[in-house]
Amino acid sequence: EQSAQKQLADGFSEDFRAGRLKVSEVIAYYAALVYRQTGSYESAAERLALDRRTVKAKVQEYLASQSSY
């Protein structure tokens, strides 16, 4: 689990620095990261100043993009 997360983070970092990501991908990744840290959509929404439904949608978008790899 930890190794897989590190690989995803490393891949994201590399793509981010190289300018290969769409804004929607950056937002989805960041929402998922904050959601993992806080453990709830409500807490993530407060931290991100977004509606919890938006956070949930972005997290689901991120997870869907990961299952396609």
Is the pTM value of this prediction over 0.85? Answer: no
Give the chain's end-to-end CA distance (angstroms, integer): 16
Give the H or E element holding residue 22. Answer: none
Q: What is the pLDDT of residue 7?
A: 72
Q: What is the pLDDT of residue 4?
A: 64
Which stretches of 4-49 are assigned E, i.e. beta strand? none
SS3 content of the chain, % helix, strand, coil (to 5): 85, 0, 15
Token pair 């190289």: residue: 18
Tell me the per-residue pLDDT of 15-58, one tens digit each, with 9 for 90 and over.
999 999 999 999 999 999 999 999 999 999 999 999 999 999 99
Token pair 């100043």: residue: 49
